[in-house]
Structure 1
């Protein structure tokens, strides 16, 4: 039998689902984790807890699928958007994961001039909002935040997994698009946004398409999960766009309403379609 695994690094849990090659579900698992609020409006999670939850979910589906590890042909990754971690050169987290519901950058949002808002939105397609990693980084810059000053890289939770498990410093276009740092027209980090955040492109991952494949799973993770080290892994995208693909809404004739920890309305379009009132998230 041939099978594939879909994993989702969500806001409240890590999920893994095994699919038969005909599309039917063979088995699934979900491992919850906590959301921390060390200060009012500061919403964080422990990256080690999330990583262990993902390991647990993968181990469970590998154990309950009644398949050999060689039956698994590939993995695809989904993740929540707008997360941010400061890490050092050895991939040690200097911060918790700052998640999308964090509100610490409200003052930075309020101080942005109209011309700055317009330029940032037109380049990145990301509305000016506290959930954006761009504004979180600006908060760190203005607060002289020590982990920000000493970090080697600024990454999302998905990137943390890709770097630790595969030694690959890559990020899919959709996750990059949700950062407020990515130019959706040129598919590269936006120089204006980087200057505002006070960081360089060298401190970020290389943007790649969602079909980009990584291999070479870390031996320790292979032993903990039961996965083969050479299993191909598609970096995938963020949860919102993938939800549209999952229900077959892959053109502008269909609109999808997604309700989870948060809610959204999404539609695929043929090219970036910006909102004159700068309310709509536009992702690649």
Structure 2
């Protein structure tokens, strides 16, 4: 029974995802593109309509009159609170699929104050779901940060999930960004590498899902030791562009030789520059070594 429920849930999510990516669809288009039977699609569309998650937006007779009704997501029921939690601040957006309704940055000192801010944002904006992105290693409802070379465990998300009666997606910040990139270019086996003054985060997306590993540590490439210190520490203590180029070259080499992604997204938020010729030279060497 549980397997059937999971399959049904997967198919319902597939319909919602297709409508999100294509704005709207007829039932016939859903059948053709999701490779499910028409009775199954019809039944699931009815369920989603009853829950007011999708709505009819008109008719499309281009298919010759077969199932001409066109469906789209019912946008008024998808108001999302997006939270990016940093050491002392919350960057938030209240948004629908098509526009940002509100955005701001709020500051906090203690995690009790942070929880109060989140509860107030949920109540004030009457949102339907909440996304929480955090810096650090996420495992279940906890996360660990590695700031100032000190590992610290955070438990407050457990409390928020008990206090707020909403669907909550809790995710590492880089994996959350990467998920948005995936929905943009729909390309599998991709890697996202983010570097700022504090350190490094990364994500590998495979078969429509970010990979976590056994304890959520997958992607924390900055914890790898290099010359007696972690790469995160090396980034924090970096003193020159040449030193940064060496570290970035090492990271890119590891990513391409270990995972061989189809695409690498690189985001830098620090004073050192991205020097394209350095990276191209590294990739050319990798290709040459593979072909020789």
Q: TM-score, normalised by structure 2?
A: 0.36
Structure with more relative contact order (C-alpha pairs < 8 Å, separation 6 or more): 1
Q: Rg bigger for which structure?
A: 2
TM-score, L = length of structure 1: 0.37
Structure with greater proportional strand content: 2
